[in-house]
Chains A and B, each alone.
Chain A
């Protein structure tokens, strides 16, 4: 009798129901957004009160330049630096001392404080003095109209990158954005394969340590048990991805509405909602234009396929490892090679950003152990279909083969207790006939 469906169902339902899963899945998108926006917001809060800074100008030339800013209130003082230091006057947070003509002695300006001088302050001082000094220097050359000449010779190139679409239209693209999308998907695939693969390993080892495995194998073939675990846990991962997908979809639609931008989703559902309370930034429109050139449906479907393939491949490794050890602690020595592989794949992916069609990227996106991760980097850059298909075929073929091999290791390993098995012994289990 085939109990595969029953096993898959149990593995899936017991994990989906866990509070930790539900909480994490629903909160993660918000957490990620918060992680990005909260520090940004915090750093933008300025102190309300302006701080007092004393200016000791021994040249009497620069003092009038120090105009008050919202953060700092500059006060010209006549006393000596030493006096202030011994006085320990708390009313000034810093002392600016200008000892000489700054054009000839640019090092003659120093800021003293009994606390670390904030970078903000020295930036402001530079800003305040720079224009004056520059003008003064230019004037010293005694060339008429020098200032205007220099200004006119400043050229700003505005390079537009345009992608030729299949249908003959053009659309503005940004390779930076495409690379960013690639990186995001790469990290996602890497994270999910690692997390869910580890879950499989933990489940296998738990059945071994709790000893329930003995009665399980008196009812079910070990291969079914292993496969049920891999598939059931895989579905949990897919569910999480799916839920996040929906949430991000909704979030983006919501943000689009708020910013008054047509993200393409909105026109379909609500043609009236074009303007909103905020105005569009030019970069934002370029970002969104790039986003709309990217072939989302194909990228997302490739993402799912590569995740499934990579997960099947790696989780079967993890299942075999879990069956060969006695407890969670022992998994360490076997985990190392597998984790190294994944990290190598991640780095291969990151180095491919610069050159998505180069040899490193090309080969690593075909080799099954690294392909799920590296292919993600390449996808936003339009990979030829035959490469994607080839990579998927190799990936799934290898995954299925690995599942078979791991099954042979699993069926022996789960009933082995007591001695630490070496790699050599484990390899023998693969060939061991009869069961």
Chain B
């Protein structure tokens, strides 16, 4: 079942059309990538799902039913531009934000302590936010996004600003969340991460959805009969790029055919990366 569905959502701002009859389906328990060039309309769509702003027409379905105000308590949102109260103490702030999401003071306190310990930032509980490094501030904000254990998590450019080590931690955290049953939407330009963890994607360009569906299916669609072969030529290794004469031929048959011509060291189909698909679709 789809956790989120949007039907023909339209959003017009004074100077431009941000979303033009956008339809997406986010299956429950999967990781959904929202892709697109800058200014395509991704953040606007996210804000509509978050009920920060409303569509001019069209509807949003939340677990099969039309979206209502109390749905926000089931959503955790990490915006692209991050920030918290600079002069407020970290722990106190986190509790305040958790309370705004519907948790009681006590619950918030207990859960936050657990999370802070897990991320090893407990010593910073009573410090003012501005005393923390940027990386730590991001961790705090990440925790605030999850503390109320929302079934739906929305991350807008989650990896921006993270060094490789922390980005890896974050990635694993997201996979762990998926394993626990959360549904995750994340918007990003980082195609490598899309490649690694997304199940479904939607590509938005100039306010329209230009590509959508399961990643494997999409990549399959973009297969272009492109193969890379590494062969032994005397003492050197050479790389060749080939195509099948008959696209319907199976890969096995193709390999057998090639093995008669060359000494094969490795054979692989060059399946387009999401990066390549993105560029190809958008330009």
A14–B103 alpha-carbon span in the complex (Å): 20
**Chain A min CB distance to B160 (Å):** 13
- Residues on the B chain within 8 Å of A126, using CB: none
A10–B99 alpha-carbon span in the complex (Å): 11
**Chain B min CB distance to A10 (Å):** 6
Q: Which of A173-216 contact B (CB under 8 A)?
A: 206-207, 209-212, 214-216
Does A220 sit within 8 A of B, measured CB to CB?
Answer: yes
> Among B50, B56, B81, B102, which residue has its beta carbon within 8 angstroms of that of A1?
B102
Contact A219 to B56, CB < 8 A, known contacts A3-B100, A210-B84, A212-B83 = no
- Residues on the B chain within 8 Å of A215, using CB: 77-79, 97, 141, 144-145
Does A79 sit within 8 A of B, measured CB to CB?
Answer: no
Residue of A nearest to B80 (CB): A214
Residue of B nearest to A9 (CB): B96
Residue of A nearest to B130 (CB): A210
A211–B84 alpha-carbon span in the complex (Å): 7
Does B88 sit within 8 A of A, measured CB to CB?
Answer: yes
- Residues on the B chain within 8 Å of A103, using CB: none
A134–B117 alpha-carbon span in the complex (Å): 94
Contact yes or no, A211 B82, CB < 8 A = yes
Does B53 sit within 8 A of A, measured CB to CB?
Answer: yes
> Among B54, B70, B72, B99, which residue has its beta carbon within 8 angstroms of that of A218?
B72
Contact A415 to B100, CB < 8 A, known contacts A14-B88, A210-B85, A211-B82 = no
A210–B100 alpha-carbon span in the complex (Å): 18
Interface size on A, residues (CB 8 A): 23
Residue of B nearest to A419 (CB): B15
Contact A211 to B83, CB < 8 A, known contacts A10-B96, A434-B54 = yes
A-B contact count (CB 8 A): 60
A3–B54 alpha-carbon span in the complex (Å): 21
Residue of B nearest to A3 (CB): B100
**Chain B min CB distance to A213 (Å):** 8
Does B86 sit within 8 A of A, measured CB to CB?
Answer: yes
- Residues on the B chain within 8 Å of A435, using CB: 53-54
**Chain A min CB distance to B228 (Å):** 44
5 A–B contacts from the bound complex (CB under 8 Å): A206-B85, A212-B83, A212-B84, A214-B52, A215-B78
Q: Which of B27-80 contact A (CB under 8 A)?
A: 47, 50-54, 56, 70, 72-73, 75, 77-79
Contact yes or no, B50 A218, CB < 8 A = yes
A423–B113 alpha-carbon span in the complex (Å): 46
Contact A6 to B97, CB < 8 A, known contacts A211-B82, A218-B50, A219-B72 = no
A215–B52 alpha-carbon span in the complex (Å): 9
> Among B75, B78, B83, B97, which residue has its beta carbon within 8 angstroms of that of A210?
B83
Q: Which residues of A contact B (CB under 8 A)?
A: 1, 3, 6, 10, 14, 206-207, 209-212, 214-220, 415, 425, 428, 434-435
Contact yes or no, A212 B85, CB < 8 A = yes
Does B253 sit within 8 A of A, measured CB to CB?
Answer: no
- Residues on the B chain within 8 Å of A209, using CB: 83
Does B200 sit within 8 A of A, measured CB to CB?
Answer: no
Contact yes or no, A219 B81, CB < 8 A = no
> Among A211, A220, A425, which residue has its beta carbon within 8 angstroms of that of B81?
A211
- Residues on the B chain within 8 Å of A212, using CB: 83-85
Q: Which of B172-214 contact A (CB under 8 A)?
A: none
Does B235 sit within 8 A of A, measured CB to CB?
Answer: no
Contact yes or no, B84 A415, CB < 8 A = no
Contact yes or no, B83 A219, CB < 8 A = no
- Residues on the B chain within 8 Å of A217, using CB: 52
Does B165 sit within 8 A of A, measured CB to CB?
Answer: no
> Among B51, B72, B81, B96, which residue has its beta carbon within 8 angstroms of that of A214?
B81
Residue of B nearest to A219 (CB): B100
- Residues on the A chain within 8 Å of B47, using CB: 415
- Residues on the B chain within 8 Å of A10, using CB: 96
Does B240 sit within 8 A of A, measured CB to CB?
Answer: no
- Residues on the A chain within 8 Å of B144, using CB: 215
A60–B102 alpha-carbon span in the complex (Å): 98
A206–B86 alpha-carbon span in the complex (Å): 9
> Among B56, B78, B83, B100, which residue has its beta carbon within 8 angstroms of that of A434?
B56
Beyond the given A3-B99, A3-B100, A6-B96, please list 20 additional residue pairs across the A-B interface where CB-CB is below 8 A: A210-B84, A210-B85, A211-B79, A211-B81, A212-B84, A212-B85, A214-B52, A214-B77, A214-B83, A215-B97, A215-B144, A217-B52, A218-B52, A218-B72, A218-B75, A218-B77, A219-B97, A219-B100, A415-B52, A434-B54
Does B217 sit within 8 A of A, measured CB to CB?
Answer: no
> Among B78, B82, B100, which residue has its beta carbon within 8 angstroms of that of A220?
B100
**Chain B min CB distance to A324 (Å):** 15
- Residues on the B chain within 8 Å of A219, using CB: 72, 97, 100-101
Most central of A209, A214, A216 by chain B CB within 10 Å: A214
Most central of B77, B82, B83 by chain A CB within 10 Å: B83
Residue of B nearest to A203 (CB): B85
**Chain A min CB distance to B256 (Å):** 57
**Chain B min CB distance to A301 (Å):** 35
Contact yes or no, B85 A428, CB < 8 A = no
Contact yes or no, A210 B77, CB < 8 A = no
- Residues on the A chain within 8 Å of B14, using CB: 425, 428
Closest 10 CB pairs of A and B: A211-B83, A219-B100, A210-B83, A214-B79, A211-B81, A218-B77, A218-B50, A434-B54, A212-B83, A217-B52
